[in-house]
Structure 1
Amino acid sequence: MMKQEVGKAAAARVKSDSIVGLGTGSTTAYAIQYIGERLQSGDLKNIIGVTTSFQAEVLARKYNIPLSTLDVVDRIDIAIDGADEVDPQKNLIKGGGAAHTQEKIVDSLAEQFIVVVDGGKLVDKLGSTFLLPVEVIPKAVVPVMRKLEQLGGKPDLRMGVKKAGPVVTDQG
C-alpha cells in the first residue's frame, strides 16, 4: 500500500468523541490530513488530538484538529504513529524523527495503537535499513556511548543536516 492509502485507512479507524494520539512521520502526516478532512466534512465529530512532536502539532493545527496535552486529558483512545522499521514479529524501531520520548509516552497510553508504515519499512531483521536511535541528554553522551560499546554496539553521534552539532530531539 502507498503511504496515502495507509494513512487514510488508519484515519478511518478514528471514532467521534475520542482522544487521538497524533504521531510523527511521513505516513502519519497523511493520517492527520485525513482526520482533519473527516472533521471538516462532519464525518467525524468532537475529537481531541494529543501530538507526539512539533511536526505533528503543526500539521494538526493546519488541518484544524483541536489539540490538548497529556496534562489535561485522562486517556488516549487511539494513537496513530509511524515506525522506521517493522520486523515479522511486529517489533519496531521508532525515533528516527527525533521525537522518541513523546512518542513513547503517547503511544504507550493509548487503548489502541496503530502503526502506519508502507512496504518499504518491512524488514526481516531490525537494524537492516535503519540504525537504532537512542535519545541521550547532552551531559550523558560519553557515558552512554561507552555503555553501548560495552554491550557490543557501535554508537555514532548523529549530526544535524542543516545545523552545526548533533541532532536535538523535541525534548531538547
Structure 2
Amino acid sequence: MESYAALLRGIMPTNPNMRNEKLRAVFDGLGFERVASALTSGNIVFRTADDPADLEDRIQEALSAELGIPGGTIIRGHATLRALLDRDPFAGLTHERGSYLTVTFFKHEIREADLGSFDDDPLTRVIGFDHDARAFLTVIDNSTGSTPDFMARLEKTYGKDITTRTWLTVQRVVKKMEA
C-alpha cells in the first residue's frame, strides 16, 4: 500500500462541487484508503495498492463524471515528495508575504525545463528544475504591489498539464501523507 498526493488543478473552494468533502468522497468511492485533504486548494492524499500509472486518468475521469471538474490531476508518491523536501532546493530562502517559493509540477516527463524562460521578468527568479519530482522551482517577488503574470507565462511555455503549489503547501501535503 503506497501513499500518494493528488494535486488537482483549477480547484476553487467557493464552488460547492469543489469543496474538500466532495473531493474526498470521490476518492473514497474509488476505493482508496486513508483519504484526507490538505488545505482547501485541491490537495488530496490517499493510500492504494493500485498501479500508479493508471491513477491520474482514473481520478480525473471520476472527478469529471461525478463533480463536473474538468481540470487536471497530477499524482506524486510520498517517496518522490519526501525526497524533494529532503533535497531542500530553496535552502536559505523563506516563503513569506513578499516572496513566494513555488513548485510547478508537470504531469508528463519533459527532458529539460527552460530555465531562462523568466529571464526578462524581474519579479520571478528560477531556482531550477527537479527531474525526479518533475517540478519547476521558482521564487516570486510579491513585494512590489504589482503581481507577475506567472501562471499565464507558465501555461504559455509548458501548456496546461501543470499545477503550482507554494513550498509551504508541499510541506503540508507531505506532513499529511506521513500522519
Is TM (by shorter chain) over 0.5?
no
TM-score, normalised relative to structure 1 = 0.25
Q: Which has the higher strand share?
A: 2
TM-score, structure 2 as length reference? 0.25
